[in-house]
Amino acid sequence: MTRLSVNINKIATLRNARGGNNPDVIQAAMDCERFGAEGITVHPRPDERHIRYADVVALAKVVKTEFNIEGHPDERYLKLVKEVRPAQATLVPDPPGAITSNAGWNTVSHADFLKKVVTEIKSLGVRVSIFVDPDVTMVEGAAKVGSDRIELYTEPYASHYHEDRESAVRPYIVAAKAAHDLKLGINAGHDLDLHNLKFLHQKLGHLDEVSIGHALICDALYLGLENTIQLYLRELK
């Protein structure tokens, strides 16, 4: 069964727009779990424009499903992972000022760095996932540095889904097969929504987890958070 992890960054963005604590990020995470989410994802960035580091520490005390912390593995991120000990750390190659993730790791050119980071995080008892493009070489590189999973960057799939969904999903099928053969777990995320999720799920036979934030929170404005989470779960069954 593929788990749905809800990325709550956008809830924090809304809170930060006015200051104060409305909406309450901690309560929202607990509600997501109560409504059926099987994981909570956050991606704290250095400028704390959405999720704050204090949020991550507070969330770790209440999240009962799988807690996933995404981020660029700089010194601050590694300190946070060491303090919180989430179920999963997802390594993303974001520069400090990035609006959102826009590419996967080059696991070949960054192999030495990634191997050191992966070893350090796994020594804490935390599962490691590396964010990669749907490229077999990058998948193989993730396995070589000791990662437990990969997260496939799905923005290219989402962008071309309505033009030619078979062509859009093809490289993901190949990459997922390579990952499965290498005994890597398979996650996916970025621009997945109620239109394109089911097809990706049907085509990737060993998909462990999808992380969805922006589209899910946008849908919740119209459909309600509980109903939206149930609709996304339905696409994964």
Which of 33, 38, 43, 72 does the annotation list as catalytic? 43
The reported pTM is 0.95
**Hey, which bits of 72-133 come out as E strands?**
88-91, 127-132
Tokens at 31, concatenated? 């509600």
72 tagged catalytic? no
Q: Smallest Cα–Cα separation from 211: which of 111, 89, 123?
A: 89
Which of 33, 38, 70, 209 does the annotation list as catalytic? 70
Q: How many residues does the chain have?
A: 237
Number of Cβ within 10 Å of residue 225's Cβ equals: 20
Distances, alpha carbon 202 to alpha carbons 14, 83, 188, 206, in Å: 33, 37, 13, 10
End-to-end C-alpha distance for the chain, whole angstroms:
8
- Name residue, tokens 């997802």: 90
Identify the domain containing residue 14 by its residue range. 3-235
Question: Any idea what the CATH number is for the domain that residue 64 is in?
Answer: 3.20.20.70
70 tagged catalytic? yes
Distance CA 215, CA 212 (A): 7
One digit per residue, the tens of pLDDT, for the chain of length 237 reads 899 999 999 999 999 999 999 999 999 999 999 999 999 999 999 889 999 999 999 999 999 999 999 999 999 999 999 999 999 999 999 866 555 667 899 999 999 999 999 999 999 999 999 999 999 999 999 999 999 999 999 999 999 999 999 999 999 999 999 999 999 999 999 999 999 999 999 999 899 999 999 999 999 999 999 999 999 999 999
162 tagged catalytic? no
Total structural domains in the chain? 1
Element (H, E) at 69: strand 66-71
